[in-house]
Structure 1
Amino acid sequence: MYLILYSKPECHLCQGLQEKLAQVKDIPFELEIRDITTREDWFETYQYEIPVLCQKLPDREKPLPRLSPRASVAKLEQMLQKNLIIVG
C-alpha cells in the first residue's frame, strides 16, 4: 500500500496528519510526502486544500476523505480501512 501526502513546509495541519499516520499500526503502508512548493502543478492543485492524502494506485491517485484535524489516530485508521483499495 502506498500513500501520498501533499504538504508544504511549516503547515501545522500537515505535520499533525503526518504524526498521526506514523502512529497507525494495523495498516501497513509506505508514505511519500510531496512538498507542493516544489512543483507548480502541485501548488496550483493543492494550495488551498493541504493536507491532502491520496492512495497511489497503478493507474491513478485516489484522494482519500479529509478528516478533522482533531480526529484521533483510531478515526484515521477507520477512514483508511473503509476507503483504501486493496490492489493485488
Structure 2
Amino acid sequence: MIQLILYSKPGCHLCEGLQEKLEQIQEPPLQLEVRDITINDAWFQAYQYEVPVLFQMAADATEKQLPRPSPRLSVEQLQKFLHKSLKA
C-alpha cells in the first residue's frame, strides 16, 4: 500500500478537490493522511502559499515530495499521474 500525505488547509478548494479524487483511486491502493497546516506552525510556514502539497511516505519514514498535479485532472488521469510520479 502506498502512503501519501496531503498538506491542506480548511476552505482550500484545490485541496478538497485533490483529496476527493485521491480517495476514489483504487489502484494502486493508497493510504491517505491529510495534514491541516493551520494546526502546526512549521507546516504553515512551509506550505501556506503552496497547498495542496502531496508527499509519499518512503519505507524509511522519510517524506518525498511529489510533483503538483493539475487540478483539472480527472480521477483516471490522476491515477496515471501517480503511477508515473511514484516510479520516478
Normalised TM-score (structure 2): 0.90
| Counterpart in the other structure of 1:36 | 37
Q: Is 1:61 matched up with 2:63?
A: yes
Of all paired residues, the percent bearing the same amino acid is 58
| Counterpart in the other structure of 2:85 | 83
**Alpha-carbon separation, structure 1, partners of 2:81 and 2:55:** 12
Normalised TM-score (structure 1): 0.90
Q: Is the 8 A contact 1:65 1:79 kept in 2?
A: no
Q: May I ask how many residue pairs the two structures share in their alignment?
A: 85
| Runs of 4+ off more than 2 Å | none
Q: What stretches of structure 2 of length at least 5 have no aligned partner?
A: none
Q: What stretches of structure 1 of length at least 5 have no aligned partner?
A: none
